[in-house]
Structure 1
Amino acid sequence: MSRWPLTPRGTGAIVLALASFVLAPVLGVPALVFFGVLLVAAVALSFASLWLGHRADGVRRSFAPPVASVGADVDVRVRVESRSVLPTVVGTWRDRLPRGIDGEPTGVYPALRSGLASGSHRVDIAYRVRARRRGVRPVGPLVVETTDPFGLSRRRQELGSAVPLTIAPAVAPLDMFDDLPGAAGGTMQSVTDKLGQGADNLIPRAYAPGDSMRRIHWRASAHRGELMVRQEERESNPEAVIVFDRAVARWSADALRSPGEDPDFEAALSIVVSAAARFVREGYGVAVVDVDGTELVPPIDGGDSAALESMTTAFATLTARREGALTELAPLFAGATVGPVVVVTGEVDPADAASLAPIVGHSSMPVLFTLGGAGDALRIARESGWRVQRLEPEDELESLWSGVEGFRGRVG
């Protein structure tokens, strides 16, 4: 939209008025001066009709859903309370969209009657966009362009302010594996999983074989160098642990700077949240941690959809971090008997694969999602017992998950 306040018709009127002033003495026609003055007056009045007594009393914007997922459609609604002393003609509107949101937010802005008789006017605008990149993206302000009834001048207004739209990672409806305890609703648990439960202390204590993985105090474990458990009530649900390796060395620098910029990191994060959602729906308690044991979100109980939604919303702004190594992970599982362990990381080397090997003996189902492996890294991981799956940004998550050995193939 042009910032020049006159339409082509109004611009032509001013040019013609100036020409009249110049030609009047040359041609000896005084009436041309009068004609030029009329043109200038007409343009001035049209300009004043737009800028005097016209205002927007309020702009409200809403999104449905309020938190979008990557790849999902979002309905945007804008309500403008407007007041005008003089009537206006039909104009146009355009909403500003940030990078990462696709759409064509333009349309016709309706004519307004004089507010002297009818008071304020309510204008409702609705359109649909698609969320393409994760993050918190500002939408707006609304830009409205109106013209006077004679089409000589125009006014460009920015109504309201930008409102942030939260775009969370994409969550795919994954199926479940067929050889997990608790796969049928997450209520089954082996005797080994129950050993050690019920020993409640007031402070974190050392892990005892059979303690629930959800009782592990990951930060205390990282500081002490051994597995520590927190005080909690007795638990009987099976547990799953999802490890997301956020070290920037595994991803590009874009993953550290801003959410939604590194396709590899985004694909990995989608696997993390999708796997967590699948386990929670099956009844598993889920812990989502970094390689050093830091909890990325509070532990989620089986079937707790509200906590699951909070996790995906929190991950809208998750980025990589500067430090972290897979070698820090195995000691956290020493002496523990756990359920499924899903590790999501970038490219691994043989040393990384070897450092993960000790975890296999402590998990009912170890799964490794990786961008790739240098040398014999993937072979070493498979031979040590990991179910390895290559992670590609363009992959469909459902097929990627189903490609892991042990997939049952039923719809969840």
Structure 2
Amino acid sequence: MTPRGTGALALAIGCFIAANQVGVVELMYFGTLLLGVLAASLVSLHLVRRSDRITRWLSPDVATVGRPSTVIAQLGVRSPLPTSPGRWEDTLPKGVRGAAKGTFPALGSGLSGGQKTVELEYTVTGVRRGIHSIGPLTVTSSDPFGLARRRTVFSDDTRITVAPAILELSALTNLLGDAGGTLHTQNNQLGQGADNLVARPYVSGDSMRRIHWRASAHRGDLMVRQEEQESTPDAVVVLDRGVLRYTAEAMTATGADPGFETAVTVAISVISRLVHDGYAVDVVDSDGTTLVEHLDGGDMTAVEDTRTLFANVTARRDDHLHHLPKLFAGIMTGPVVVITGRFDKQDADAIAPVVHHSSLPILFAVSPTREAVDRALDVGWHAASIDPDADVAHAWTGAVERGVSRAHR
């Protein structure tokens, strides 16, 4: 019962006592009336029958850390009597935040119809990457007199995915000649001679050996020989998941270690940038384990799928960063982006050979020492620190264009 109902019950009992003491029969009638109203209130609440299932869905289907999403909950109500407004509240996990409560609408009599559908909507914001469960949902309703209250719990919960955010990074278009990309592709020789070759305008980064001097003289602009078959350039993103580079929480739960969360966010952002720029991207751990399927250049749908997979990635026990050069032995590729946590001078020396197998070696470390970054720069890495408070977009631009983002060291 509500405080009002409790007061009515106390008043009814008081009326019975007073009627017996002073002999006023009317007080007995009044007390009986109050008890009748209380009983009617309780009965009316229990005549309201609600379905035992609830359906929720998220828009968009996958939530994103730091960005709002809409949760829509749909439930059915069966009641032979009209119902008064009530209150509803949904239970949110630690991985999301929002105001998941509101006014439950009044409903008319259901004698002439079947189950009535009520749709509730609220906004949540992802705060922690991972798979989380929303629910149960509680509806609290009262009788028209406000004497009694009924609390109905819809125990069904709904699992939602909170994926890392993709940060906007600058394009590599100013480095096409060095790093590859959609406009600068790998080539295979098709034939010999120059008379039957097709010439195209010179693009910054083209080899001087490919200049077609006869066509250049005829056109008045530099032209190059188009005797190659274009193919998509490759890039490799290495997400070092060794737990020794982070904290123990990074291995036991998603979203628990800020450093590892930064590494995951940077990884998916770099993947998105490279795929958008036309690179075919391989995503591996430092031991060579493939984290996602090969991504083709320009396939942004695959990037979204990768982002969803990254919602549940955690650190692992072993540390294989020092063995990274073995993965690139005997091969030459385009950009190689290594993302790791703790990083010292010995680590920089251990992975130095990778530089000679990449057209654009980039290194991001969450917790590097100053000597480690300097050493990485000395051996040829484009390096930057990406602590959890760093401006990742600025660090990316600084590392790519200048070799280091000194504002974040």
Judge which range, 274-283 or 132-141, deviates more: 132-141
Query: 1:37, CA displacement in angstroms?
Result: 3.2
Q: Percent identity?
A: 43
Aligned residues: 363
Other-structure match for 2:213: none
1:215 corresponds in structure 2 to none
Matched, 1:17 2:15: no
Residue type of the partner of 1:245?
D
Deviates more, 1:119-128 or 1:148-157: 119-128
Matched, 1:354 2:352: no
Match of 1:35 in 2: 30
| Structure-2 separation of matches of 1:386 and 1:185 | 19
Structure 1 counterpart SS, 2:147: coil
CA distance in 2, matches of 1:283, 1:61: 37
Instruction: Indicate conservation of the 8 Å contact 2:254/2:313, yes or no.
Output: yes
Q: Does 1:246 align with 2:241?
A: yes
Please tell me whether residue 384 in structure 1 is matched to residue 387 in structure 2: no
Aligned partners of 1:119 and 1:166: how far apart in 2? 34
- Answer whether contact 1:181 1:190 (CA < 8 A) is retained: no
CA contact (8 A) 1:182 1:283 kept: no
SS at match of 1:268: helix
Single out whichever of 156-165 and 353-362 deviates more from structure 2. Answer: 156-165
Are residues 31 and 182 of structure 1, via their aligned partners in 2, closer, same or farther at CA, if it must alter by over 3 Å?
farther
* Structure 1 position 268 matched with structure 2 position 263: yes
Q: How much does 1:125 deviate?
A: 1.6
1:394 to 389, 396, 403: 389
The CA deviation string for residues 237-277 of structure 1, in whole angstroms up to 9 with x for no partner, is 11111111111111122211111121111111111001001
What residue ranges of structure 1 are gaps of 5+ in the alignment? 1-5, 196-233
Q: Deviations along 1:146-178, whole A, 9 cap, x unmatched?
A: 111111111111236111111111101211232
* Secondary structure class of the residue paired with 1:173: coil
Residues 64 and 125 in structure 2, CA contact (< 8 A), matched pair in contact too: no
1:214 is matched with none
CA displacement at 1:24 relative to structure 2: 4.1
SS of the aligned residue for 1:358 comes to helix
1:182–1:284: 8 Å Cα contact kept in structure 2? Answer: no
Correspondences of 1:9-408 after superposition (within 5 Å)? 9-29=4-24, 31-56=26-51, 58-159=53-154, 161-177=156-172, 178-181=174-177, 186-191=182-187, 236-374=231-369, 376-406=371-401
- Larger-gyration structure (1/2): 2
- RMSD of aligned C-alpha atoms? 2.3
Is residue 386–residue 392 contact of structure 2 (8 Å, CA) maintained in 1?
Answer: no
In structure 2, what residue type is equivalent to 1:263? P
Change (3 A) 1:145 1:182: farther
Select between 76-85 and 63-72 the one with higher mean Cα deviation.
76-85
Q: Amino acid of the residue matched to residue 45 of structure 1? A: A
Worse-matched range after superposition: 157-166 or 129-138: 157-166
Residues 297-332 of structure 1: CA deviation (Å, up to 9, x unaligned)? 111111122221111101111111111231121111
Q: Is the 8 A contact 1:240 1:341 kept in 2?
A: yes
Provide the secondary structure at the position in 1 that maps to 2:36.
helix
SS in 2 for 1:179: helix
CA distance in 2 between partners of 1:262 and 1:294 (Å): 22
Partner of 2:270, secondary structure, is helix
Q: Report the TM-score when normalising by structure 1.
A: 0.82
Highest RCO, 1 vs 2 (Cα 8 Å, sep ≥ 6): 1
TM-score (norm 2): 0.83
